[in-house]
Structure 1
């Protein structure tokens, strides 16, 4: 049986055009368009589709992450495709951790969109070529430079917070997850940056990848 797709995006001219193209591909049994959060919420509660495409036009990244997590908690069978606004590596990783199955940038072509659908039909995940290149550059950046060295070993708590930083969690998210104050989280963040000799969260993730702390 063919799956159903819901497109959550605007403007209407774009979504209707994409819908017409996808109808010609005959991949989906039906294609529905939602242009407001209320209509999407009703649809997901009453008759959730197998595939859901969410555009960054509709929400800011933080809201997308929260909504994806909410959807996947209620229905793990929905395969979510995010059309992002050239999100960085950390944000893309965070979206996959929340439960999406495919990530495309706004500059992705229709052919690449079809490639992502084919991957999902095979129960695979998909990341567009543009985002893959950013990931490769992120990992290989400064590869000829000397690797980062820890000044002092990270404590157990600092290692725990480091992994949550790599998952894209904010200080507020970390404080709620670990039941500690935001000030305590910020103190740990500063100590981690100092020990790793890095300037920001990007440096933390780079260190974690290079040292196989995260995949």
Structure 2
């Protein structure tokens, strides 16, 4: 029996995924929570055999900070990240903490079950789109030529990217798009992660390369 503890700050997604996995005869959902601090409080009560199915972006703690804390409490805890982030730089950063896998949220249930089974048996599983074990096939998303921009970024992310490239501040972008500053900050962070760049200069280069700005 594969035992899973799920952490995701989106309540509807968390409940839906929990129900879906609970229907699988070989799986047991041993618990859920929405925040990193909640996970750390419950971690001592979990088994080292339980798999942590974690969302990358939790609102109360950065990923690397959370991973350090998990490893202090449970160095051998199995961790599988479930996320929308395709940026390969992001995976490299997380892999330094010896995570067991990284799977995209748009994966099929069959792939997710395969990933969980692989991790439960002591292996690692990384989605093919971000396969860090693939040698030369592991490419930064910035250099992938055979994918359209709208397959990588959402419409809103493209809007934010264009305004960032025009040197608008987060506050100015928020005002133009009728969003909060924190939402714009999240969009900017997600853009950097998805595109595998280091900073705003990298975003501008991507936008120019893909004809998003003049």
What interval of TM-score do these two structures reach, taking the shorter chain for normalisation? Answer: 0.5 to 0.7
Corresponding residue for 1:106?
105
The alignment status of 1:18 with 2:7, answered yes or no, reads no
How many equivalent residue pairs? 143
Q: Measure how far apart 1:21 and its partner are.
A: 1.6
Instruction: Provide the rounded CA distance (Å) in 2 between the counterparts of 1:79 and 1:38.
Output: 18
Corresponding residue for 1:51?
51
Which blocks of at least 5 consecutive residues in structure 1 are unaligned? 143-199, 202-215
Corresponding residue for 2:173?
none
Tell me the TM-score normalised to structure 1 length. 0.56
Q: Measure how far apart 1:25 and its partner are.
A: 1.2
Summarize the Cα distance change of 1:11–1:86 in structure 2 as closer, same or farther, 3 Å threshold. closer
Given that residues 67 and 97 in structure 2 are in contact (C-alpha distance below 8 angstroms), is that contact kept between their aligned partners in structure 1?
yes
Q: Measure how far apart 1:98 and its partner are.
A: 0.8
Q: Measure how far apart 1:71 and its partner are.
A: 0.7
Given that residues 40 and 70 in structure 2 are in contact (C-alpha distance below 8 angstroms), is that contact kept between their aligned partners in structure 1?
no
Counterpart mapping for 1:177-196 below 5 A: none
* CA distances 1:67-87 after superposition (whole Å, capped 9, x unpaired): 112212321231111123324
Summarize the Cα distance change of 1:25–1:38 in structure 2 as closer, same or farther, 3 Å threshold. same
Corresponding residue for 1:28?
27
Counterpart mapping for 1:75-94 below 5 A: 75-94=74-93
Given that residues 9 and 35 in structure 1 are in contact (C-alpha distance below 8 angstroms), is that contact kept between their aligned partners in structure 2?
yes
Given that residues 104 and 128 in structure 1 are in contact (C-alpha distance below 8 angstroms), is that contact kept between their aligned partners in structure 2?
yes
The alignment status of 1:136 with 2:133, answered yes or no, reads no
Q: Which has the higher contact order (CA 8 A, sep 6+)?
A: 2
Which blocks of at least 5 consecutive residues in structure 2 are unaligned? 145-196, 199-214
Q: Which has the larger radius of gyration?
A: 1
Q: Measure how far apart 1:3 and its partner are.
A: 4.3
Given that residues 19 and 31 in structure 1 are in contact (C-alpha distance below 8 angstroms), is that contact kept between their aligned partners in structure 2?
no
Corresponding residue for 1:122?
121
Instruction: Provide the rounded CA distance (Å) in 2 between the counterparts of 1:93 and 1:78.
Output: 19
Instruction: Provide the rounded CA distance (Å) in 1 between the counterparts of 2:119 and 2:46.
Output: 20
Q: Measure how far apart 1:13 and its partner are.
A: 2.0
Tell me the TM-score normalised to structure 2 length. 0.56
Summarize the Cα distance change of 1:110–1:64 in structure 2 as closer, same or farther, 3 Å threshold. same
Corresponding residue for 1:42?
41
Q: Measure how far apart 1:48 and its partner are.
A: 5.1
